[in-house]
């Protein structure tokens, strides 16, 4: 049962083939395995989750499920508030002592729909980088090779889903943080259009930060989106109601879609040959399914420096009130970018916003010509655990090896990472699908077509 999708679990509950209690017990075994082998969990709430599963089992027996996810085990990244337990965000600066009385909006929607809240997954300190390790909780390994990184910053969630420790997880993405670990761990993840999933408390990284589903497939992600997109007045920047169920039209295919394929951002990014070949195969599958594919590049300069201004300033804001003792226990890399971020002026920040707006206009025009953009999610596969950058790469920051992800946080577009097979070492490859703002359903539909066709 731990290998079943959320949709398959719900079908089993409805038929009486098995119960939420049985499924939760199976998933708890996998969660403990994921905790021991790759450090995917900060906390596993076994007693609480079994109580929730028992209540869900009683509801299913009465034929009265509470919602769309009644009895489905779900994990939550330890960035998002979950009442009843601490949200430590990978930092020694946060005390475990409560009270912890609020749920983040997406977590509140999970409760309303009867989900079984299994536990909290690992994150780097405040989710600041593209790998998952922190001074407080250590490093999270890759399910395919624990000596390699799971990616980040939602690495615990990706590893949990990959190992069957719950078919659904909530992650956050400010520069690639659901897509990076999804690519490294061989699962699906969607960064929705900014504002589609309400956020509270507001991220210090501002409107770069999104909440999104991390799942085995696009169908489960569509189901989870139907739950977590519910409105919440605590988020002043949320969008209006979703235009309908994300499960409607999921199987409509890609025939007739105009797809731009950019293998390397116009030669700007050096992509591992195995990754390039895997992405090319997925593009060929989309063409075989009837999409009109053209090799085309969005042709924008690398916005990494403006992104750094926005990102590092946010990090400095997060840690602004830290004492010297707290700063001494911070991740050294985080401390470094906080010092840099504190040195930017308001004019520096506004200049970065100008670059962001120009990039958004450019991508808006690009999507008048193309429905989807396809790129690699990452230029390579998972590297050594405990490092911010691959050994010998000459890079200094995680943004050096994530050139395909952070631009679309700046533009607030929906973007997904779809499993695209493995390289010669057996490590997963991710394929990124990007659409215009508000076209989340289109990304899910194309991903579903690709996964169904085995692409």
Note if 120 is an active site residue: no
Q: Is the peptide bond before 163 cis (omega within 30 degrees of 0)?
A: no
Check if 77 is active-site.
Answer: yes
Give yes or no: 177 in active site.
yes
Residues 6+ apart with CB under 8 A from 234: 105, 198, 200
Give yes or no for a contact between 109 and 68, defined as CB atoms under 8 angstroms apart.
no
User: Which single residue is written with the structure tokens 């700063």?
Assistant: 327
Would you call 368 exposed, middle or buried from its count of C-beta atoms within 10 A (0-12, 13-18, 19+)?
Answer: exposed
CA distance 151 to 159: 9
The Cα–Cα gap between 65 and 423 comes to 42
- In angstroms, rounded to a whole number, what is the distance separating the alpha carbons of residues 394 and 371? 36
Within 10 A of 247 (CB to CB), how many other CB atoms are there?
17
Among 177, 262, 282, 417, which one carries the catalytic annotation? Answer: 177
| CA 94 to chain CA centroid, nearest Å | 23
Which among 178, 219, 217 is positioned nearest to 197, based on CA atoms?
Answer: 178
Q: Which of 77, 120, 129, 191 is catalytic?
A: 77
Name the active-site residue from 49, 153, 154, 262: 153
Tokens of 221: 């992600």
Residues labelled as active-site residues: 77, 153, 177
């Amino acid at each position: 049962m731990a290998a079943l999708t959320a949709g398959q679990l719900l079908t089993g509950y409805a038929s009486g083939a098995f119960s939420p209690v049985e499924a939760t017990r199976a998933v708890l075994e996998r969660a403990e395995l994921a905790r021991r082998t790759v450090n995917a969990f900060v906390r596993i709430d076994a007693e609480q989750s079994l109580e929730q599963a028992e209540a869900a089992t009683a509801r299913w027996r009465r034929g009265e499920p509470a919602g769309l996810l009644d009895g489905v085990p779900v994990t939550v990244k330890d960035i998002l508030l979950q009442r009843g337990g601490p949200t430590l965000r990978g930092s020694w600066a946060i005390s475990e002592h409560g009270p912890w009385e609020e749920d983040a909006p997406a977590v509140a929607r999970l409760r309303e729909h009867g989900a079984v809240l299994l536990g909290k997954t690992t994150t780097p300190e405040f989710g600041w980088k593209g790998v998952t390790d922190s001074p407080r909780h250590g490093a999270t390994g890759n399910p395919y090779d624990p000596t390699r990184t799971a990616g980040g910053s939602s690495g615990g969630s990706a590893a949990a889903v990959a190992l069957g420790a719950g078919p659904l997880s909530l992650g956050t993405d400010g520069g690639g943080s659901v897509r990076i670990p999804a690519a490294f761990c061989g699962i699906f993840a969607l960064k929705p259009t900014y504002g589609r999933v309400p956020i509270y408390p507001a991220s210090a990284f501002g409107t770069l930060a999104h909440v999104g589903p991390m799942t085995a497939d696009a169908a489960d992600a569509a189901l989870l989106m139907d739950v977590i997109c519910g409105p919440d007045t605590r988020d002043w920047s949320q969008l209006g109601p979703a235009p309908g169920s994300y499960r409607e039209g999921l199987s409509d295919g890609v025939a007739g879609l105009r797809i731009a394929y950019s293998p390397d951002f116009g030669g700007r990014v050096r992509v591992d040959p195995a990754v390039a070949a895997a992405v090319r195969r997925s593009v060929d599958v989309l063409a075989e399914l009837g999409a009109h594919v053209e090799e085309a590049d969005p042709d924008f300069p690398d916005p990494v420096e403006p992104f750094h201004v926005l990102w590092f300033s946010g990090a400095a804001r997060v840690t602004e009130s830290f004492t010297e003792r707290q700063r001494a226990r911070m991740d050294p890399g985080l401390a470094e970018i906080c010092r840099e971020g504190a040195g930017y002026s308001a004019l520096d920040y506004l200049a970065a916003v100008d670059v962001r707006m120009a990039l958004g206009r450019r991508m808006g025009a690009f999507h008048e010509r193309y429905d989807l953009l396809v790129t690699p999610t990452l230029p390579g596969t998972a590297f050594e655990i405990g490092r911010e950058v691959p050994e010998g790469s000459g890079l200094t920051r995680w943004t050096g090896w994530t050139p395909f992800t952070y631009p679309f946080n700046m533009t607030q577009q929906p973007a997904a990472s779809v499993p695209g097979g493995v390289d010669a070492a057996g490590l997963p490859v991710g394929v990124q699908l990007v659409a215009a703002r508000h076209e989340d359903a289109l990304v899910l539909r194309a991903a579903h077509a690709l996964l169904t066709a085995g692409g």
